Amino acid sequence: MLRHLHSIPGLIVALVVTVIAATGAMLAVLPAWEHARSAGSSSAISVAGLAEAVAEKYPGVERIERKPSGAVVVYYFEGDVPGADVVDPRTGDKIEPYEPSGFARTVTQLHRSFFAGNAGRVTAGVGAAAMLLLSITGIMLLASRLGGWRKLFSPIRGDGIRRWHAELGRLALPGLTVSALTGLYMSLATFGMISDGSDAEPDFPDAVAGTEAMAISDIAPLKATSIDNLRELRFPYQGDLNDAFTLTTADGMGYVDQATGELLNYMPNGMVKTVYETIFMLHTGQGLWWFALLLGPSALAVPFFAATGVLIWWRRRAATPKIADNHGAQSADTVILVGSEGNTTWGFAKTLHEALTAAGHKVHTGAMNDLAKSYKHAERMFVLAATYGDGAAPASARQFLDKLEAITTAPAFPVAVLGFGDRQFPRFCGFARDVEETLVAKGWRQLAPIATIDRQSAQEFARWGDEIGQRIDTPLSLVHVAARPKTARMVLVERIDYGTEVQAPTSVLRFAAAQGERKGLLARLFRRSLPRFHAGDLVGILPPGSDLPRFYSLASSARDGVLEICVRKQPGGLCSGYLHGLRPGDAIEAFVKPNPAFRPRRGKEPLILIGAGTGIGPLTGFIRNNSGRRPIHLYFGGRSPNSDFLYREDLRMWLTDRRLSGVRTAFSRSEERAYVQHKLAADADVLRHMISRGAQVMVCGGRDMAQGVVAALEKVLHPLGLDVGTLKEQGLYVEDVY
Ligand SMILES: Cc1cc2nc3c(=O)[nH]c(=O)nc-3n(C[C@H](O)[C@H](O)[C@H](O)COP(=O)(O)O)c2cc1C
């Protein structure tokens, strides 16, 4: 709900808000510019002194205005021709003609009304209201994402665009809220919906002396007013003895009898006027030039928010499959919540949604992150959750457990959890199990105990459907046909083979984008390139005859010009066998899947890379891209230095050019019979030193190796009062384990 409140107005008014903010940022510089050009402080000069000097230099003076920047402007007539000059307040001498800049006027008009009169002014007002709504919902969203208001300033995780949208939002929020709130107030005042206090001006006095004017320098109220306090002094109409001076100061307004010097009908500013003046000052920076300079940069961030916000919305939309007949969360009798990262679980949810709809139910399907506090008409709920990392939540379910914790009363309807995972991972369906455990602990009724689906098995899903159908008295035939992922064709350009002598055939395979049939200039013009990816991301490969991708960690990044993986041939392995059979020139169908959780942190702190067998693949990608020469130490485990020492020559080269600071190897079928964890134990002091300097540990390889590494590092960390769990929480220990 909150997200819709943020994204829908955001999309509608992105352009309007961008124009208002960009022009606002330009206008923010003006008060400081005018302030720099103004004559400076003049508290010693009285309005009487100024008016006397001006009247002498400008016999046709109509009024004197003191601008918020401090500049004193005299408006006068020379014959019938009006003029305006900036004058020196001490002498009344002309400094320069007063000509407000055309640029400033154009930008101001664009800011206030888009050059479209009243319709434009209404649009600007709506824009200010939307900006206020976006600021408030944006910060509420961020607080809920970070786990509460108290964590509002904790580090923000996530990929580039989302993270920067939130980081910058947090910084710009105070400025944007002030600008939006004050802008909205001023818009409402423009349309008379809020009073600006100007209707409370004093009436012209019923009677004035009407006799000859006294010398201006002797008029007491003008003598008592410093020009710092002056807003405007209107002179009596020339030769009209029944007219009076009109004096407007920061505090109020009144009339001054030109014959007696008496202050008549003075009216101090009321509350409404004072509030308006303050809001005007806060919004425009007129009279508070440094404040405008603080607001300017916040406004400048708005075009960035608009662009990244639209991109985030678009990506989320593209990633969420369209589900027909999707009822609202509060009107549905059946709620399906989905936790997915790679989108395949959405496909299963869609099949379930369609079957339930066909059986006459009103079904709502949404992301687990959108768990509502209550569902008015729900009679049952299904939670379909995939698992990532080391039993962690997928992207569309990261906030689920926090939201669930916040619900204090268990609902009346029952819930069934269905986990999606892969038995090769140590924590098979670990996240779905955590969800089930929490639901049970919080007293939610079970519709059925948790069930699991291994590697997107359509058969297991159909069996689960049969069981659920019996429980809800609605026969469910769940025939799930997996959507074939969108792939690109890639051609094998190089392969290097290792490990046959030690019964661990392993190949480094390098692919380039397939170029199709075009030849010559056309081929050069329409050259296909590889998709964008980083080392450590995953490539999903479809072996012939299967729509179920197998994932491999990438050992290169797109800028290396090739897509590189390191594959060990598994006995009976469909995909690894297929890949090992490829010859240069053969093509595969593949797609890239980002894996931002397994990337080196930015910075200069050391990296400790630990990998065994093909696990060295992504680690070499990090080393190859280490152009900043941060210290990188690699621990590599294999079987025999003569057969499966993967990347041996590359490592030697990287040591020479200092992309790599040190390598430790451990071979299990050599004389030393060592594993990487033995080398870690032997290097305990050095490792402690690096970890206490903020080093990040990155582990890639098989499950057993990863467990051995954890055990060895626990011992290394113990004297520091640290453990692997703490490092993981801080993002200083990351794994890519299979
Ligand atoms: C990087 C990665 C990590 C994974 N980690 C686990 C895991 O720890 N436990 C598990 O059971 N499955 C794991 N899986 C398997 C996925 O949960 C499974 O493929 C699921 O069907 C994906 O659903 P989705 O496409 O909707 O995200 C992992 C898959 C990938 C690509």
In this predicted structure, the answer to whether residue 93 has a pLDDT above a threshold of 90 is yes
Distance CA 659, CA 220 (A): 81
- What pLDDT was estimated at residue 297? 81
Q: Cβ(537) to ligand 1 under 6 A?
A: no
Q: Cβ(551) to ligand 1 under 6 A?
A: yes
In this structure, are residues 508 and 647 in contact, taking their beta carbons and an 8 Å threshold?
Answer: yes
Q: What are phi and psi of 424, to 5 degrees?
A: -70, -20
DSSP 174: H
In this predicted structure, the answer to whether residue 594 has a pLDDT above a threshold of 90 is no
Nearest to 650 by CA among 626, 670, 674: 626
Q: Cβ(708) to ligand 1 under 6 A?
A: no
- The answer to whether position 365 is within a domain reads yes
- The answer to whether position 99 is within a domain reads no
Q: Is the ipTM of this complex over 0.95?
A: yes
- Are 292 and 409 contained in the same domain? no
Question: What percentage of the chain has pLDDT greater than the value 90?
Answer: 53
- The answer to whether position 83 is within a domain reads yes
In this structure, are residues 18 and 111 in contact, taking their beta carbons and an 8 Å threshold?
Answer: no
Q: Cβ(344) to ligand 1 under 6 A?
A: yes
DSSP reduced 3-state for 215:
coil
Distance CA 264, CA 549 (A): 88
- Are 402 and 441 contained in the same domain? yes
Q: How far is CA 39 from the centre of its chain?
A: 44
Distance CA 114, CA 128 (A): 13
- Are 505 and 559 contained in the same domain? yes
What CATH number should be reported for the domain holding residue 542?
A: 2.40.30.10
Q: Cβ(393) to ligand 1 under 6 A?
A: no
More confident: 332 or 297: 332
- What pLDDT was estimated at residue 4? 67
Ligand 1 mean position, distance from CA 542 (Å) = 16
Longest dimension (CA), the chain: 120
Nearest CA to ligand 1 atom 4: 388
In this predicted structure, the answer to whether residue 549 has a pLDDT above a threshold of 80 is yes
C-alpha torsion 710→715→719→723, nearest 10: 20
What is the mean predicted confidence (pLDDT) over 215-239?
93
Show which of 563, 593, 623 is a domain's final residue. 593
- Are 628 and 719 contained in the same domain? yes
- Are 451 and 544 contained in the same domain? no
- The answer to whether position 480 is within a domain reads no
- Are 368 and 463 contained in the same domain? yes
Distance CA 190, CA 205 (A): 28
- Mean of pLDDT over the chain: 88
DSSP reduced 3-state for 487:
coil
What CATH number should be reported for the domain holding residue 358?
A: 3.40.50.360
In this structure, are residues 354 and 346 in contact, taking their beta carbons and an 8 Å threshold?
Answer: no
Show which of 547, 565, 593 is a domain's final residue. 593
In this predicted structure, the answer to whether residue 629 has a pLDDT above a threshold of 90 is yes
pLDDT band at residue 10, thresholds of 50, 70 and 90? Answer: low
Tokens representing residue 87 in the block: 């004058």
Task: Report pLDDT digits (tens) over 168-193.
Answer: 888 888 888 988 898 899 888 888 88
- Are 60 and 81 contained in the same domain? yes
Nearest CA to ligand 1 atom 25: 342
Tokens representing residue 421 in the block: 């995972």
More confident: 674 or 30: 674
Distance CA 185, CA 619 (A): 56
- What pLDDT was estimated at residue 186? 86
Tokens representing residue 11 in the block: 């999309």
- Are 357 and 457 contained in the same domain? yes
Ligand 1 mean position, distance from CA 208 (Å) = 89
Show which of 471, 497, 514 is a domain's final residue. 471
Q: How far is CA 98 from the centre of its chain?
A: 45
What is the mean predicted confidence (pLDDT) over 630-650?
94
- The answer to whether position 562 is within a domain reads yes
In this predicted structure, the answer to whether residue 422 has a pLDDT above a threshold of 90 is no
Nearest to 50 by CA among 68, 32, 71, 35: 71
- Are 586 and 693 contained in the same domain? no
Buried b (16+ CB within 10 A) or exposed e, 552-565: bbbbbbbebebbbb
Domain that holds residue 533: 488-593
**How many structural domains is the chain composed of?**
5
- The answer to whether position 238 is within a domain reads yes
- The answer to whether position 684 is within a domain reads yes
Q: Cβ(255) to ligand 1 under 6 A?
A: no
- Are 630 and 701 contained in the same domain? yes
What is the mean predicted confidence (pLDDT) over 28-52?
76
Q: How far apart are the first and last CA of the chain?
A: 37
Nearest CA to ligand 1 atom 2: 388
- What pLDDT was estimated at residue 700? 95
Q: Cβ(419) to ligand 1 under 6 A?
A: no
- Are 377 and 501 contained in the same domain? no
What CATH number should be reported for the domain holding residue 627?
A: 3.40.50.80
- 14 Cβ partners below 8 Å, 6+ apart? 306, 309, 310
- The answer to whether position 547 is within a domain reads yes
In this structure, are residues 496 and 616 in contact, taking their beta carbons and an 8 Å threshold?
Answer: no
- Are 557 and 509 contained in the same domain? yes
- What pLDDT was estimated at residue 258? 94
Q: Cβ(594) to ligand 1 under 6 A?
A: no
- What pLDDT was estimated at residue 166? 85
Tokens representing residue 137 in the block: 């919902």
Distance CA 43, CA 229 (A): 8
